[in-house]
Structure 1
């Protein structure tokens, strides 16, 4: 981890005292993660994750922390932040803004099958519905306006083929964003989205006896913002339902994911029609981000940039092989 703040047991205990969670038992740094400092923290009051925010400011954090609190209060499995007696959930530890959240049980499923995709799809839909009355607003900070600003900075670092692809896709997404069907999504299928719900941001725990794994929660909401719900679906499809080597969609998993999502929130006809375009948008978002991290890295922000060629392959495939999910038939 390239960014890391050393937290002493005394500093952790001071936070526990404020939260009335008793005596510290263990404080253990978490090696995973590229943006924040994270510790497993065990105490009389339970098992938690302590996060010190290395990138986000105190002014930016309420949107994310209150969103997770809001979702938790509505039964969505997310790591609810702990509050003090005054209801505050954002603190300062070692000079950094910090929060203490519930620790989710289980581990990651890095080779998901239909069963896992169905659970993620249904839970994502419930999350979208639960967020409809969330009062705070923040745009998706890695959406189209950011691509607009970032792509020109990347062009000098790209090959001729890469430049042609990224410029043509940006133009395509600009046209989509200005269209009447997209305006319909903004009006009727828009709200808080996770925007980064990859396999390593979901936890499952083993089932009892011969049972299958059970989803225990979504976490790491620090790229969340308000966007079309379909964009969130597309981000998930491009990670949970693909062949990682080629970037191609696994249609069996993708169909199962969408069908499970629709058991909780049916997609409109417009959403079905725009899904191929949003799959391209989701691939573009992560291709641009990975190119940015590779060619224009922030100092000490990343231990190792992810290979941007993966999402270049995904984008090329979504352009060449547009995929439409089958609509779920329902009785009137």
Structure 2
């Protein structure tokens, strides 16, 4: 959610004229995150988030926006995309795909408490159950093939220790069989900055632009690695225990999922370590750009490799 594409007020006003949202009042760029350009947009009729997509094509963006609408319409708190006057969610702005979605109440969390972690876990289980009924498919584009390609791209820029760790983890993950695990639509990026809360009430799950079809267990592992992580990048076992219990009150894990849990935690940390490391070693230019520390998820990966 860095700002890579700058837009002018008149340009945005003309874009908003194709919606029933009233005239533009104010807008500002959002610096948090790293993938797309995002703006807060206030109009006479509401508050919205405008996303300009920097990497995705129109075809796959329809999938993301349909998921957001599907989940919102199945009582999963999600930002519903706004349709234009012709009923379209996806538009073009500054020559790039763009979408306007409702701006949810509440705020993201830096340090979620035990109750908020458990609320999020239950909502994620409901998200997975609902997603099993979603009839469209998108493969995970951050899988092991992606990891191998990233390592190849940045290996000459990596430290010797990082090269060894990445190679060892890649070899381990290649032995993991994910085919027998329950599958659904997964968020695939459910960090604390992608959920809105008012106190202990979850008001919305946001930023579904990595959503895909995948193992529910992997999605839970992505959530745990961020929501249950201590300041020293180890996992808080009290939070972890509460999250697993809360999730399973909605969707109990299978025996195979229990046996694959450590591998899922490792794959989730491996994926975000590599993506952050790539962004650090090969940075992209943006007007307001946030590069997140790859060492965080390197530490989490090492923790899970030692605590099986």
TM-score, shorter chain, exceeding 0.5:
yes
Root-mean-square deviation over aligned CA pairs: 1.9
What is the Cα deviation at residue 2 of structure 1?
Answer: 5.1
| Residue of structure 1 in register with 2:107 after alignment | 107
What is the Cα deviation at residue 88 of structure 1?
Answer: 1.0
| Residue of structure 2 in register with 1:125 after alignment | 125
- When Rg is computed on C-alpha atoms for both structures, the one with the higher figure is 1
What is the Cα deviation at residue 158 of structure 1?
Answer: 2.4
Structure 2 contact 3–29 (Cα < 8 Å) conserved: no
Secondary structure of 1:27's counterpart equals strand
What is the Cα deviation at residue 321 of structure 1?
Answer: 0.6
Describe the superposition over 1:143-190 as per-residue Cα deviations: whole angstroms up to 9, x where unpaired. 1110121212232222332222111110110110xx3xx3211xxx11
| Residue of structure 2 in register with 1:16 after alignment | 16
Question: How do residues 27-42 of structure 1 correspond to structure 2 at under 5 angstroms?
Answer: 27-42=27-42
| Residue of structure 1 in register with 2:197 after alignment | 204
Describe the superposition over 1:256-297 as per-residue Cα deviations: whole angstroms up to 9, x where unpaired. 111111111111111111111100111110111112112233
Where in structure 1 are there 5+ consecutive unaligned residues? Answer: 207-212, 323-332
Query: Are the structure 2 counterparts of residues 31 and 161 from structure 1 closer, same or farther at C-alpha, using a change threshold of 3 Å?
Result: closer
Query: Are the structure 2 counterparts of residues 291 and 45 from structure 1 closer, same or farther at C-alpha, using a change threshold of 3 Å?
Result: same
Structure 1 contact 35–301 (Cα < 8 Å) conserved: no
2:214 to 208, 211, 227: 227
| Residue of structure 2 in register with 1:194 after alignment | 187
| Residue of structure 1 in register with 2:93 after alignment | 93
| Residue of structure 2 in register with 1:210 after alignment | none
Distance 1:254 1:301 in 2: 38
Which has the larger displacement, 94-103 or 301-310? 301-310
Query: Are the structure 2 counterparts of residues 274 and 77 from structure 1 closer, same or farther at C-alpha, using a change threshold of 3 Å?
Result: same
| Residue of structure 2 in register with 1:171 after alignment | 171
2:179 to 179, 183, 189: 183
Describe the superposition over 1:310-331 as per-residue Cα deviations: whole angstroms up to 9, x where unpaired. 1111111101112xxxxxxxxx
Structure 1 contact 27–39 (Cα < 8 Å) conserved: yes
Secondary structure of 1:25's counterpart equals strand
What is the Cα deviation at residue 118 of structure 1?
Answer: 0.5
Distance 2:227 2:71 in 1: 22
What is the Cα deviation at residue 85 of structure 1?
Answer: 4.4
Structure 1 contact 7–94 (Cα < 8 Å) conserved: no
| Residue of structure 1 in register with 2:7 after alignment | 6
What is the Cα deviation at residue 215 of structure 1?
Answer: 1.2
Question: How do residues 303-314 of structure 1 correspond to structure 2 at under 5 angstroms?
Answer: 303-314=289-300
Secondary structure of 2:280's counterpart equals helix
Where in structure 2 are there 5+ consecutive unaligned residues? Answer: none
Distance 1:76 1:300 in 2: 33
1:242 aligns with 2:229: yes
Distance 1:294 1:239 in 2: 19
Structure 1 contact 238–283 (Cα < 8 Å) conserved: yes
Structure 1 contact 248–314 (Cα < 8 Å) conserved: yes
Distance 1:242 1:86 in 2: 45
1:286 aligns with 2:238: no
TM-score, normalised relative to structure 2: 0.93
Question: How do residues 43-122 of structure 1 correspond to structure 2 at under 5 angstroms?
Answer: 43-122=43-122
Distance 1:194 1:221 in 2: 6
